[in-house]
Amino acid sequence: MPGEAYRTSVRKIIHIDCDCFYAAIEMRDDPQLAGRPLAVGGAAERRGVIATCNYEARAWGVRSAMPTRQALKLCPDLLVVKPHMEAYRLASRQIHAILREYSERIEPLSLDEAYVDVSEASHCGGSATRMAREIRQRVWQELRITVSAGVAPNKFLAKIASDWRKPNGLFVITPDEVEDFVAALPVSRLHGVGKVTADKLSRLGITLCSDLREWDKLALLREFGSFGERLWGLARGIDERVVEADSRRQSVSVEHTFDSDLPNLQACLQQLPGLLEQLEQRLARLDGSYRPGKPYVKIKFHDFTQTTLEQGGAGRDLDSYAVLLGAAFARGGKPVRLLGLGVRLIDLREAQEQLLLF
C-alpha cells in the first residue's frame, strides 16, 4: 500500500495550547481590555520584555520575548500590564483538572500547554477528535478562555496541528493522512529546527519534507551530526517519544540566537537584562515542588563552538549572571551567535520521597 513505510504507530495524542494565555486571562477578568492592543510584560523603562500579547497587538507586529520599548514603537497605543501569575496558575490547574477527566497521561509543557495521550481512553467512544472538541468546549464554558487543539498519532504532529488553525481552532491529522501532510510541510516547522538549521537546509536545496526525504540517513548524519537521524525520521512523520506523565524538569532556561553576531563581551552584557526578565517569568510559572538552584549561562560562538558555565551558591541577580557570562566568554573570546541563561532545579518532591525512604 502506498505510504505504508511512513505509517506511524497507532497512538492518539492531543496537544492543547491556550490562545494568548496571559492576555486572555487579563481580558476575561477586565472586559474593558478586550478589543484593544494588549500585552503582558515588563515596563519599558526597566528594559522589560513582552511575555505574551493578544491578537490585536500581534497585528502591529508585537511578539512574545520582544523588548517592551520596541513593542511600543510598533504599536504606540499598546497597553502593557504586569503579569498576575497566581491567576494564571489557577487557570492552568483548572484546565489540567479537565484534562485529567479524559486521561492521566498528561505532559505539561508550561502553564498553558500540554500533551494528552488518549490512546486508551474510553470517553467519546474512544474518538480523540471528539474528546478534543469536548475539552475545548468545556474550557470555554468553565474558564471563558479559548484553547486550540491538535490531534495526531504522535507528539510532533499533534503540536504542529494545534497551531494550524489558531486561534480557537481544532485540526486533526489521521494516520492515513500523515505521509501527504508531512511531505508538504516546510522543514522550518520541524521540531528542533531553528533559524540556523533552516538556513543550512535551504542552502542544500531542502525547503520541504519531501526534499528532505530524498536524502538518506547517512548523508544527513554527515551534514547535521546526531540531529540528522532525527531529521530523517521527522521527514517521514516518525516520532516515538511518549507522553511523559511523570517527567520532572531538571532546569529552566531562556536563550536567543541573534541575527548578527555579538562582537564582544560588552555587547553580550547588554543583552542580559532582557534575558533575565524572561527567565524570571518562566521560573514564576513553576509549581511549588521545585526550588531554583545553580544559575548558569550558555554561549554559542560564531563558529558553533559552545560552552556552559554554572556556579553553586551564586545569586540569580543581574550582577551574578554578568560575572558568569564574563568567565564563560573568556573561554572563547569570539563573536557570539547565541546567549542563554538558566537555573538548575531542585526537585523538592524527590527530596521529600528520599526523606521518607530513610
Which residues are annotated binding-site positions for Mg(2+)? Answer: 17, 112
Q: And the C-alpha cell for 54?
A: 493578544
Residue located via cell numbers 504606540: 76
> Are 193 and 201 in contact, with CB atoms under 8 Å apart?
yes
CA 259 to chain centre: 20
CA atoms of 332 and 336, how far apart (whole Å): 9
Cα–Cα distance between 248 and 333 in angstroms, integer? 35
How many C-beta atoms surround the C-beta of residue 357 within 10 A? Answer: 6
Q: How far apart are CA 17 and CA 50, in angstroms?
A: 19
Angle between helices 227-234 and 217-224 (to 10 degrees): 130
CB 176 within 8 A of CB 1: no
Beta strands in 234-315 (DSSP E): 251-262, 290-301, 306-310
Contact 44, 82 (CB under 8 A): no
350 is catalytic: no
Out of 26, 56, 107, 113, which one is annotated catalytic? Answer: 113
> Rounded to whole angstroms, how far apart are CA atoms 204 and 197?
11
How wide is the angle at C-alpha 189 spanned by C-alphas 8 and 235, nearest 5°? Answer: 35
Pair 117, 74: CB distance under 8 Å: no
- State the amino acid at position 163 in one-letter form: D
Beta carbons within 10 angstroms of residue 282's beta carbon: 17
* Cβ neighbours of 109 (radius 10 Å): 13
> How many beta carbons lie within 10 A of that of residue 204, not counting itself?
15
Q: Which of helix, strand or coil describes residue 174?
A: coil
Chain length of the chain: 358
Q: List residues with catalytic annotation.
A: 113
